[in-house]
């Protein structure tokens, strides 16, 4: 660690490819989010019906996340990334076609394909990033996750501009699909074969019966720990807050505050910028104050932002409050995932269990707000987010490391790829 290896051309290309494709996935996600008002108008559906359409993304994403780890163990990361990239491209094209044909079922199916691609890539890319970290002996995952956030900013900017000139949403998403396809081809060619495959085999040997018998059973057993249950509740609230903005923020500003579609896209861009800023600058705060204090403050800041969006009748103030929402939500998910595995046994099973809970809240919870919005309005429906954030702020003591001094060193011979990298 004192003298990290010099990065050769192959590793440099490997790392650059991961950064590029993570950026591309962020652009593609933000492009979809920024154009949700245009898609809703093209489909001519209610907010509740739009929530049902959004469940396609949730279903596909959860399916991808749940199967990705097993596929990487059997096949390695490269083929999983290749399949994920193909599904991403196919999903964008189907969404574009569904919007052009005004077919809700088509958009639903496209979102399912898109979500499955995102879910597959999510786990595989973290495994690849951790492998690059081990090769270089220094952190890589912070920048990798930052590239996704940066991509959301770029995608939001492009979406805002194209919305302003009333560029057809179908052609917009089709163009993004072409860009993602190009990035995917270059990435798959640059990623070495077998990453994650041999590591899983070694783990199977160490555990005797291997991942086939330890995976699901271990993840269920760890929930007997009261501390982990509290951590799971925190990640549920923080992921719900982030996912709600991703799914509904443009429509929240358009329908809830009477702004234009362009202003709605701008608001989402502000949220994405705030998220990116929080992830790149939160590390020193975590080192100085610890995860419990930082997540408590984050939850309260996010709650303040949501409260202003919900209760303020001034559209400008509500739009500015989105910055608080984004800053507060930025560190919640990665810090709680990191805390789940610090200073305890069965760290991998605990992290996997809490990650699944977080993804469930992130992907499945926010679309359900659409049905509530049909009865109380989208602004009032966001009170659910406010309540969850307030509850999370009350139980952040669970994020403290169980034993003094356990910290990052004890939980991670995999320090670069686990605790500290995920804090940014």
In this model, does residue 188 exceed pLDDT 70? yes
**8 is written with which tokens?**
């050769």
For residues 212-226, average pLDDT:
63
Give me the DSSP letters along 296-321: HHHHHHHHHHHHHHHH---HHHHHHH
Percentage, residues of the chain above pLDDT 70: 80
Distances (CA, A) of 265 to 48, 59, 73, 254, 259: 20, 25, 39, 9, 10
**Strand runs labelled E in 272-418:** none
Are 192 and 68 a contacting pair, CB within 8 Å?
A: no
For residues 399 and 139, the model is more confident at 399
For residue 403, what pLDDT band results from cuts at 50, 70 and 90? low
For residue 148, what pLDDT band results from cuts at 50, 70 and 90? confident
In this model, does residue 255 exceed pLDDT 50? yes
Q: Is pTM, for the whole model, over 0.75?
A: no
| Contacts made by residues 42-47, CB under 8 angstroms, sequence distance 24+ | 42/99, 42/100, 42/102, 42/169, 43/99, 43/102, 43/103, 43/104, 43/107, 44/102, 45/104, 46/374, 47/251, 47/255, 47/370, 47/373, 47/374, 47/378
In this model, does residue 201 exceed pLDDT 80? no
- pLDDT per residue over 4-63, tens digit each? 566 778 888 998 999 999 999 999 988 988 888 888 888 888 777 887 888 888 789 888
DSSP H or E run through 63? helix 47-75
In this model, does residue 420 exceed pLDDT 50? no
For residues 162-188, average pLDDT:
92
CA-nearest of 27, 51, 52, 32 to 94 is 32
């Amino acid at each position: 660690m004192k003298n990290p290896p010099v990065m050769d051309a192959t590793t440099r290309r490997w790392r650059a490819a991961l950064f590029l494709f993570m950026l591309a996935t962020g652009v593609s996600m933000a492009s979809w989010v920024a154009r949700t008002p245009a898609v809703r108008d093209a489909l001519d559906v209610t907010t509740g019906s739009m929530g049902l359409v959004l469940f396609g993304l949730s279903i596909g994403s959860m399916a991808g996340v749940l199967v990705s780890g097993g596929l990487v163990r059997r096949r390695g990361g490269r083929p999983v990334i290749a399949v994920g990239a193909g599904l991403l491209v196919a999903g964008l094209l189907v969404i574009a076609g569904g919007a052009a044909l005004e077919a809700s079922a088509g958009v639903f199916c496209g979102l399912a394909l898109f979500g499955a691609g995102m879910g597959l890539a999510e786990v595989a890319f973290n495994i690849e990033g951790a492998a690059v970290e081990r090769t270089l002996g220094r952190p890589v995952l912070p920048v990798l996750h930052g590239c996704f956030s940066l991509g959301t900013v770029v995608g939001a900017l492009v979406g805002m501009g194209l919305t302003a000139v009333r560029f057809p949403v179908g052609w917009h998403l089709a163009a993004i699909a072409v860009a993602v396809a190009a990035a995917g081809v270059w990435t798959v060619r640059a990623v070495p074969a077998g990453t994650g495959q041999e590591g899983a085999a070694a783990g199977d040997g160490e555990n005797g019966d291997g991942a086939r018998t330890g995976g699901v059973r271990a993840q269920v057993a760890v929930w007997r720990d009261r501390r982990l249950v509290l951590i799971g509740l925190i990640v549920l609230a923080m992921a719900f807050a982030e996912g709600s903005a991703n799914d509904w923020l443009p429509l929240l500003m358009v329908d809830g505050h009477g702004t234009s579609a362009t202003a709605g896209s701008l608001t989402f861009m502000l949220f994405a910028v705030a998220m990116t800023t929080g992830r790149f600058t939160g590390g020193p705060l975590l080192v100085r104050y610890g995860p419990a204090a930082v997540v408590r403050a984050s939850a309260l800041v996010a709650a303040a932002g949501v409260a202003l969006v919900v209760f303020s009748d001034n559209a400008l103030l509500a739009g500015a409050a989105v910055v608080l929402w984004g800053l507060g939500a930025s560190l919640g998910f990665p810090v709680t995932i990191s805390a789940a595995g610090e200073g305890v046994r069965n760290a991998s099973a605990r992290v996997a269990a809490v990650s699944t809970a977080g993804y469930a809240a992130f992907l499945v919870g926010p679309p359900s707000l659409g049905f509530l919005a049909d009865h109380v309005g989208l602004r009032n429906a966001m009170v659910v987010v406010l309540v969850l954030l307030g509850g999370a702020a009350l139980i952040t003591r669970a994020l403290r490391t169980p034993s003094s001094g356990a910290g990052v060193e004890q939980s991670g011979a995999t320090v670069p790829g686990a605790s500290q990298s995920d804090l940014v």
